[in-house]
């Protein structure tokens, strides 16, 4: 977003909204999964509430047509990045992977939405549109394991949570119903993760890929030793927010009945009732068999007992705080639109009042709004402790065809390395088995074809045979390292960096440390062992020019972002220790809730969405008691 942007060539008209401040029972900022779940939970348990939902993005796919347009935009996109199918407005931009570079080599990153001061680039992004990042997520729905909530007391690292796995368990169950998770309890009872007696997931597990089964067989009985303890290298299916075969034994606590009906596409409910294996879950599931928050939102907007208004293209930039009571008095937002002739931007500023205000925007956006409002200052933790999973990829060719590029991006992993005594010295990691060949590390299959034509000079039948042979043997593994909370990994705001609407752009300071680097080394060792056992011809290569390249003890590694942004308004026992309490209520402001992944104290090794969804249900319960 340089200062000579294309948008400034438009005549911009800004109007001050002269209407009196509108009053609401609840104002929810952000229409992603957290905002949608809180709203849905409220409209189900309350009557007569007047709720306002504000979303920054220009994309609003509540109707099927708009979603179909996203599909077309994806088909047309040359670089099929996670945000490529979705609208991106300079008035409320989304971060993009295309803006990244190696900071050590090329200096701070100032193009794009994020301002990155480094020294290490923050590699992840998110989506600012109605539905949020669930539009492009993969759908992995892992629960955290009990030790993840007490990392400090168990392993002397990081911090403990002010809540336990057991306390979150009933909310995990609600989240698994809302998202519609496909998995088998028998396989997920690992790492101390318990389930209620007789619990089953709403749907049976998504069938494991041929590759999963091939690896499972090839690695049978194998173990790896970390710090003197043997860990089984076991392939286990991954719970997914993706429609599969309903489990008849599923007991729905809400309706007090058995069975589950998968929720299809929004506006075309007969579509997407089962995963069809279209193999582009990221960036977009064409039939919405993968959960997205639009599904939850449709229930919110269809409710008849409460009034809900959802306004998009309405980014919130500040909260007004009453100096005496510390209550949030106003929510300030701007609306943007393009004039009918497409030549002018129409901008207006607004304010609204809510008895309860919920910040349910992205972890970084929540922090940005709090910082801009000088809210929640007691703990000094707002914007700090930014965490992500660092994903190292290893890839190679298997000796035989394993049917790459079919089905969901990943259907299994090796989760038994997610917890263990090694965590006192190095990060735990989750191992993900990728079904889409080298798509992530090497942009295959397109690059396979280009390589065959340009470098090998193949054509005709030889070319087809080559692509078929290589393409069906490509495979990769992902190694996702946990990160510890650190104050130096943080978001800041500055008047020097604003977007087209005049709202702050996030300035990110980010480091990786020895705890993760040691994990990278351990993962590399485990990868080598697995590749040897499966006779994989390794093609892994890490380049010094990679944005996420680092060296450790004489070896180079490249990591990527996982899109799991956590920790920017962490929960705590008290106002000194955290920004919010276990219900995600701000310690400093009695009528403010700050909800989302930003509340998580540690990231552990699970993709955070399921835990975020569980927390949202808990928060909604607390809000409902106010009415």
How near is the Cβ of 276 to other proteins at its closest, in Å? Answer: 7
Rule CB under 8 A: say whether 270 interacts with other proteins.
yes
Among 73, 81, 338, 348, binds other proteins (CB under 8 A): 73
Rule CB under 8 A: say whether 273 interacts with other proteins.
yes
Rule CB under 8 A: say whether 341 interacts with other proteins.
no
Residue 224 vs 245, nearer CB to other proteins: 245
Residue 15 vs 252, nearer CB to other proteins: 252
Residue 602 contacts residue 421 (beta carbons within 8 Å): no
Rule CB under 8 A: say whether 271 interacts with other proteins.
yes
Residue 65 vs 532, nearer CB to other proteins: 65
C-alpha–C-alpha distance, residues 426 and 32, integer Å:
33
Rule CB under 8 A: say whether 269 interacts with other proteins.
yes
How near is the Cβ of 483 to other proteins at its closest, in Å? Answer: 37
Q: Which residue has the tokens 């990155």?
A: 116
Among 14, 76, 223, 252, binds other proteins (CB under 8 A): 76
Rule CB under 8 A: say whether 68 interacts with other proteins.
yes
> Under rule CB under 8 A, which residues in 102-131 are in contact with other proteins?
none
Residue 249 vs 425, nearer CB to other proteins: 249
Rule CB under 8 A: say whether 286 interacts with other proteins.
no
Residue 245 vs 327, nearer CB to other proteins: 245
How near is the Cβ of 302 to other proteins at its closest, in Å? Answer: 9
Among 164, 261, 494, 545, binds other proteins (CB under 8 A): 261
Residue 72 vs 446, nearer CB to other proteins: 72
Helix (H, G, I), strand (E, B) or coil at 455: coil
Residue 108 vs 269, nearer CB to other proteins: 269
Count Cα atoms within 13 angstroms, Cβ side, for 366: 38
Residue 181 vs 359, nearer CB to other proteins: 181
Q: How far is CA 69 from the centre of its chain?
A: 23
How near is the Cβ of 484 to other proteins at its closest, in Å? Answer: 43
Residue 41 contacts residue 617 (beta carbons within 8 Å): yes
Q: Which residues pair with 24 in a beta bridge?
A: 354
Helix (H, G, I), strand (E, B) or coil at 216: helix
Tokens representing 342? 């497409």
Beta strands 474-481 and 390-397, pairing class: antiparallel
Using CB atoms within 10 A of its CB, is residue 109 exposed (0-12), middle (13-18) or buried (19+)?
A: buried
Residue 164 contacts residue 149 (beta carbons within 8 Å): yes
Phi and psi angles of residue 464, each rounded to the nearest 5 degrees, phi first: -60, -45
Using CB atoms within 10 A of its CB, is residue 52 exposed (0-12), middle (13-18) or buried (19+)?
A: buried
Check whether the bond before 410 is cis (ω within 30° of 0): no
How near is the Cβ of 174 to other proteins at its closest, in Å? Answer: 20
Candidates 222, 281, 249; CA nearest to 530 is 222
How near is the Cβ of 267 to other proteins at its closest, in Å? Answer: 9
How near is the Cβ of 413 to other proteins at its closest, in Å? Answer: 24
- Of 262-270, 440-448, 490-498, 529-537, which part binds other proteins (CB under 8 A)? 262-270
Residue 299 vs 451, nearer CB to other proteins: 299
Residue 384 contacts residue 353 (beta carbons within 8 Å): no
State the sign of the Cα–Cα–Cα–Cα dihedral 13, 16, 18, 23: positive
- Of 266-274, 441-449, 543-551, 600-608, which part binds other proteins (CB under 8 A)? 266-274
Residue 101 vs 274, nearer CB to other proteins: 274
Residue 300 contacts residue 43 (beta carbons within 8 Å): yes
C-alpha–C-alpha distance, residues 159 and 152, integer Å:
5
C-alpha–C-alpha distance, residues 483 and 25, integer Å:
38
Rule CB under 8 A: say whether 69 interacts with other proteins.
yes
Q: Total residues contacting other proteins (rule CB under 8 A)? A: 23
Residue 271 vs 518, nearer CB to other proteins: 271
Rule CB under 8 A: say whether 489 interacts with other proteins.
no
Sequence-ordered alpha helix ranges (H) in 428-542:
439-442, 446-454, 460-471, 514-533
C-alpha–C-alpha distance, residues 495 and 497, integer Å:
5
Rule CB under 8 A: say whether 383 interacts with other proteins.
no
> H or E segment at 173?
helix 165-179
Rule CB under 8 A: say whether 245 interacts with other proteins.
yes
Among 262, 354, 408, 415, binds other proteins (CB under 8 A): 262
**463 contact partners, CB below 8 Å, separation of at least 6:** 449, 452, 453
Residue 72 vs 305, nearer CB to other proteins: 72
What totals of helices (H) and strands (E) does the chain contain, helices first? 14, 23
Give pairs for 246-249: CB < 8 Å, separation 24+.
246/202, 246/203, 246/204, 247/200, 247/201, 247/202, 247/203, 247/204, 249/198, 249/200
Rule CB under 8 A: say whether 492 interacts with other proteins.
no
How many other CB atoms are there within 10 angstroms of residue 106's CB atom? Answer: 11
Rule CB under 8 A: say whether 381 interacts with other proteins.
no
Among 72, 220, 454, 544, binds other proteins (CB under 8 A): 72
Tokens representing 516? 């993760």
Rule CB under 8 A: say whether 301 interacts with other proteins.
no
C-alpha–C-alpha distance, residues 548 and 528, integer Å:
21
Q: Binding pattern to other proteins, positions 499-538, x when CB under 8 A? A: ----------------------------------------
Among 276, 351, 492, 573, binds other proteins (CB under 8 A): 276
Residue 70 vs 114, nearer CB to other proteins: 70
- Of 63-71, 377-385, 388-396, 538-546, which part binds other proteins (CB under 8 A)? 63-71
Residue 510 contacts residue 118 (beta carbons within 8 Å): yes
How near is the Cβ of 438 to other proteins at its closest, in Å? Answer: 25
How near is the Cβ of 465 to other proteins at its closest, in Å? Answer: 21
Tokens representing 267? 């506006």
Rule CB under 8 A: say whether 59 interacts with other proteins.
no
Rule CB under 8 A: say whether 248 interacts with other proteins.
yes
Tokens representing 590? 């009695």
Q: Binding pattern to other proteins, positions 5-44, x when CB under 8 A? A: ----------------------------------------
Beta strands 507-510 and 115-119, pairing class: parallel
How near is the Cβ of 447 to other proteins at its closest, in Å? Answer: 25
Angle, helices 165-179 vs 609-624, to 10°: value is: 100
Site residues (vs other proteins, CB under 8 A): 64-65, 68-69, 72-73, 75-76, 245-246, 248, 259, 261-262, 264, 268-274, 276
């Amino acid at each position: 977003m340089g200062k000579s942007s294309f948008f400034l060539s438009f005549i911009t008209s800004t109007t001050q909204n002269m209407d009196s401040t509108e009053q609401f029972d609840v104002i929810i900022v952000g229409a992603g999964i957290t905002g949608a779940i809180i709203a849905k939970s409220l409209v189900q348990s309350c009557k007569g509430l007047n709720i306002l939902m504000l979303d920054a993005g220009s994309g609003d796919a509540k109707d099927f047509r708009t979603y179909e347009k996203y599909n077309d935009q994806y088909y047309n996109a040359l670089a099929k990045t996670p945000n490529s199918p979705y609208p991106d407005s300079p008035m409320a931009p989304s971060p993009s992977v295309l803006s990244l570079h190696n900071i050590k080599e090329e200096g701070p990153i100032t193009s794009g939405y994020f301002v990155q001061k480094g020294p290490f680039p923050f590699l992840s992004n998110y989506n600012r549109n109605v539905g949020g990042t669930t539009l492009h997520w993969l759908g992995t729905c892992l629960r955290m394991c009990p030790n993840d909530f007490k990392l400090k007391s168990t392993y002397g690292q990081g911090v403990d949570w002010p809540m336990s796995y057991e306390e979150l368990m009933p909310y995990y169950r609600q989240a698994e119903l809302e998202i519609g998770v496909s998995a088998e309890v028998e396989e997920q009872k690992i790492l101390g993760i318990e389930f209620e007696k007789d619990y089953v997931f709403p749907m049976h597990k998504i069938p494991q890929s041929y590759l999963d089964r091939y690896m499972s067989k090839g690695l049978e009985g194998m173990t790896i030793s970390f710090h003197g303890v043997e860990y089984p290298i076991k392939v286990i299916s991954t719970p997914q927010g993706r429609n599969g075969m309903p489990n008849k034994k599923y007991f729905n606590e809400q309706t007090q009945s058995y069975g589950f009906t998968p929720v299809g596409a929004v506006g075309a409910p007969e579509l997407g009732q089962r995963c069809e294996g279209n193999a582009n879950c990221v960036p977009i599931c064409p039939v919405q068999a993968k959960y997205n928050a639009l599904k939850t939102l449709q229930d919110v907007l269809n409710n008849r007992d409460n009034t809900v208004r959802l306004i998009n293209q309405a980014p919130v930039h500040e909260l007004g705080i009453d100096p005496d009571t510390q209550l949030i008095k106003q929510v300030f937002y701007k609306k943007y639109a393009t004039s009918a002739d497409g030549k002018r931007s129409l901008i207006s500023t607004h304010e609204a009042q809510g008895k309860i205000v919920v910040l349910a925007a992205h972890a970084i956006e929540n922090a940005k709004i709090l910082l801009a409002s000088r809210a929640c200052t007691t703990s000094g933790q707002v914007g700090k402790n930014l965490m992500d999973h660092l994903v190292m990829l290893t890839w190679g060719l298997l000796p035989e065809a394993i049917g790459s590029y079919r089905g969901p991006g990943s259907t299994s992993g090796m989760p038994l390395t997610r917890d263990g005594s090694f965590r006192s010295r190095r990060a735990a990691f989750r191992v993900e088995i990728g079904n889409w060949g080298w798509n992530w590390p090497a942009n295959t299959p397109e690059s396979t074809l280009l390589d065959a034509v340009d470098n090998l000079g193949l054509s005709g039948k030889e070319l087809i045979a080559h692509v078929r042979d290589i393409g069906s043997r490509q495979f990769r593994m992902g190694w996702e390292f946990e990160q510890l909370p650190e104050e130096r990994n943080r978001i800041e705001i500055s008047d020097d960096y604003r977007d087209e609407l005049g709202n702050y752009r996030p300035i990110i300071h980010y480091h990786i440390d020895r705890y993760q680097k040691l994990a990278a080394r351990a993962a590399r060792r485990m990868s080598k062992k697995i590749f040897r056992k499966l006779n994989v011809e390794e093609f892994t290569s890490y380049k010094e020019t990679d944005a996420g390249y680092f060296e450790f003890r004489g070896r180079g590694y490249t990591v990527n972002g996982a899109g799991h942004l956590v920790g920017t308004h962490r929960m705590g026992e008290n106002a000194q220790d955290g920004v919010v309490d276990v219900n995600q209520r701000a310690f400093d402001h009695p009528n403010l809730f700050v909800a989302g992944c930003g509340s998580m104290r540690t990231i552990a090794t699970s993709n955070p969405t399921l835990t975020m969804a569980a927390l949202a249900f808990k928060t909604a319960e607390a809000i409902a008691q106010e009415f």
